[in-house]
Structure 1
Amino acid sequence: MLPKISVVVPVYNVENYLRRCIDSILKQSFQDFEIILINDGSLDNSGKICDEYSQKDTRIKVIHKKNARVSAARNDGIKLARGKYVSFIDSDDWIESDMYKEMINKAEKLDLDLIMCDFKKKSTDFEDKRTQPIRAGYYSKSDIRNELFKCLIMFEDIQLPPTISNWVCLYKLELLKTHQLYYDEEIHYCEDSLFGSKVMYHAGSFYYLKNHHYYNYFYNPNSTTNTYNEKKWNSYLKINERLINFFGKSTEYDFSRQIKINMLFFTLNALSQIKYSHIDAVERLNMTRKIMYHPKVSDLFKDFKLPNVSWKMKVIVLLIKFKLVRVYSLILKNNKSN
C-alpha cells in the first residue's frame, strides 16, 4: 500500500543535527509516510546515520550520491516519491509532532493541491515566530488568481512571496508530475523562491494554516547564507532569467513589475552581503560597482516606479538607480561601524 506522504530530506554534513530531524518525523502523530534520505555526498558521519535509521524502519529509504547540491537532491526525492503528497525538510531542522496530521487531514478533506503552515526561526538563544501577510484559510483557483498572483513572485514592499519556505508546504505529487515542476539544478541559492512561485501558479487549490507554527527552522549565525560570493550572484541572475522566461509569457496576469522588484531584491541582498565579505575596502568598492553597473540592474529601472517602502530604503534604491557607488559604500561603511 502506498504511503500518504513522502518526506524528502536532503542530507549534507549534518551529523550533529540529523538525528533530531529524523526523530521528529518518526514521532509524528500521523504515521502513514515514507522518508527518503538523500545523502548528497556527505563527508562526515551523516551517511552512516542515514543507514542506521533505514535498518530500523522499513519506511526509510536512503540514497547515497555524489554532491550535487540541494536542488538536485530534492528532485531525486520527487522522482522516487510514492506518496499522494510530498514534503521537504532540511536536515538541520525539525517538525512538531502534529504537523503532518493537521496538514494531511485538511489536504484530503478539501482535495488540496497545496497546503502551507507557519514556522519558528530558532537558534540556541532565541525563537522568532514567522507568518505570512496573507489571509488564513482556503483559496480556490480564482482566489489564487485574485489574491495571490499579485504577490506570487514578490510583494510590493520588496519581500519574498508566501511560498518562499518550501519546507512548510505539503504538495500534491500529481500536480508536480503533471506540470513537470522540479527544482532548477543550475540554481543553488534561493531555489525555493522560483519553485514555490511556479507551483502556486499551477495550483487549483490552496490552504494556509496561518499561525500554526509546526516547522522549526534552525538558524545558524555562522552560515554562509549572509555572505556574498560570485556563485550566489549568478544564481540570482539565473532566477531572474527563469522568471522572465516562465512568468513573462503568462496571459493570465502581468508579472513584469514583480519580476523587476525581484531583481531589485536580489540586488539589495547582494550589496548588503558585501559588508560581510572578508575583503579590503577597494575590492568591496569594485564588487559594489560591478553589481550596480550590471545590465540586469540597469534594465530594472526602466519605467520603474519606486516600491512602497520606507524613505530610507527609497534612498538606497535611488543610489543604486543612479549608480552612486561611493556614496552607497560610505553609507554601508557607516552602518557597519554603528
Structure 2
Amino acid sequence: MRPKISVVIPVYNVEKYINRCIDSILKQTFQDFEILLINDGSIDNSGQICDEYAKIDKRIKVLHKKNARVSAARNDGIKMAQGEFVSFIDSDDWVDPGMYKGMIEKAIEHDLDVIMCDFKKTSIYDTEKRTHSIRGGFYSKEHIKNELYHCLIMFENIEFPPTISNCVLLYNLEFLKKYNLYYDENIHYCEDSIFGSKVMYHARNFFYLKGKHYYNYFYNPDSTTNTYTEKKWHSFLKINDELEKFFMRTQDFDFSRQIKINMLYLTLNALGQIRHLDKGKNQKEKLICEIITHPRVAGIFDEFNLPKVPWKQKMAILFIKYKMVRLYSLLILNNAR
C-alpha cells in the first residue's frame, strides 16, 4: 500500500549523527511513511548503519551510490519515492515527534501542494527558535502572487525567502513531477534556494504552520557550507544563471530586482567567508579582488537602487559597487577572527 510520506535523507559521512536523525523519524506519532536513505558514497560507517536500520524496519530502503552531492541524492529520492508527499531531511538534523502528524493533517485538509513549518537552530552552545516574516495560514494561488512573489527569490533586505530551507517543507509528489521540479545537480551550494523559488512559483496553494518549530537544524560552524572555495563561487554564479534563465522569462511578475539582490547576497556571502580562510592577507585580498571585479558582480549595479540595509552593510555594498578592493579588504579582514 502506498505510504502517505516519503522521507528522503541524503547520507554522507555522518556516522556520529545518522542514528539521531533516523530515530527521530521512527518515533513520529504519524507512522504511515517510508524512509529513503541515499548513501552518497560515504567512506565512514554511515552506509553500514543505514543497512542495519533497513534490516529491522521494512519501511526503510537504502540506495548506495558513488558520491554525487546532495542535489543528486535528493533527486534519487524523488525518483524512488512512493508516497503521496515527500520530505527532505539532512542527516545531521532531527525532527520533533509531532512533525509529520501536524503537517500531513493540514496537507490533506487543504489538498496542498506545499506546507511549511518553523525550525529550531541548534549548536553545541544553544538552541534558537526561528520563524519567518510572513503570515501563517493558508495561501491560495492569488495569495502567493500577491504576498509571496515579491520575496520569492530574495527579500529586499538581502535575506533569503521563507522556502530557503527545503527541509521544513512537505511537498505533494505529483505536483513536483507535474512541473518537473528537481534539483540542479551542477549546483552544490544554496541548492535549496533555487529549488524553493521554483516550487513556490508553480504552487497552486501553500500553508505555513507558523510557530510550529518541528524541525531541528544542527549548525556546525566548521561545515563546508560556511567555508569559501572557488568551486562554491562558481556554484553561486551558476545559481545566478539559472535564476535568470527561469525567472526572466516569466510574464506575470518582474523578478529582475530580486535576482540582482540574490547575486548581491551570494557575493557578500563569498566575501565574508574569505576572511576565515587559512591564508595570508595578500592572498585573501587577491580573492576579494577577483570577486569584486567580476563582470557578474558589476552587473548588479546597472540601474540598481541600493537595498534598505544597516549603514555598515550599505558601506560594504558601496565598496563593492565602486570596486574599492583595498577598503573592502580593510573592512572585513580587520574583523577576521
Superposition TM-score tier, normalisation by shorter sequence: over 0.9
Structure 1 residues 1-338: aligned runs within 5 Å: 1-336=1-336
Cα deviation per residue 1:153-200 (whole Å; 9 max; x = unaligned)?
000000011100000000000110000000000000000000000000
* Deviation of 1:119 (Å): 0.4
2 CA distance for matches of 1:26 and 1:67?
26
| Runs of 4 or more above 6 Å deviation | none
Cα deviation per residue 1:227-259 (whole Å; 9 max; x = unaligned)?
211000001000000000000100010000000
2 CA distance for matches of 1:4 and 1:239?
32
1 CA distance for matches of 2:285 and 2:253?
39
1 CA distance for matches of 2:158 and 2:222?
25
| 2:276/2:336 contact within 8 Å kept | no
* Deviation of 1:221 (Å): 2.2
Paired letter, 1:330:
L
Paired letter, 2:326:
R
* Deviation of 1:224 (Å): 2.2
User: SS at 2:233's partner residue?
Assistant: helix
2 CA distance for matches of 1:11 and 1:231?
21
Cα deviation per residue 1:239-293 (whole Å; 9 max; x = unaligned)?
0000000001000100000000000000000111100111111111110000001
Instruction: Let me know the Cα RMSD of the aligned residues.
Output: 0.7
| 2:6/2:34 contact within 8 Å kept | yes
Number of aligned residues: 337
User: SS at 1:62's partner residue?
Assistant: strand
2 CA distance for matches of 1:50 and 1:333?
43
1 CA distance for matches of 2:327 and 2:205?
47
* Deviation of 1:135 (Å): 0.4
2 CA distance for matches of 1:250 and 1:333?
40
User: SS at 1:335's partner residue?
Assistant: coil
Paired letter, 2:290:
K
2 CA distance for matches of 1:176 and 1:148?
19
Larger mean CA deviation between 92-101 and 275-284 belongs to 275-284
1 CA distance for matches of 2:192 and 2:224?
17
| 1:226/1:276 contact within 8 Å kept | no
- TM-score, normalization by structure 2: 0.99
* Deviation of 1:217 (Å): 0.5
1 CA distance for matches of 2:125 and 2:332?
28
- TM-score, normalization by structure 1: 0.99
User: SS at 2:335's partner residue?
Assistant: helix
| 1:33/1:59 contact within 8 Å kept | yes
1 CA distance for matches of 2:221 and 2:292?
27
* Deviation of 1:334 (Å): 2.3
| 2:25/2:97 contact within 8 Å kept | yes
Paired letter, 2:276:
Y
1 CA distance for matches of 2:125 and 2:268?
28
2 CA distance for matches of 1:160 and 1:141?
21
The runs of 5 or more residues in structure 1 that have no matched partner are: none
2 CA distance for matches of 1:151 and 1:244?
16
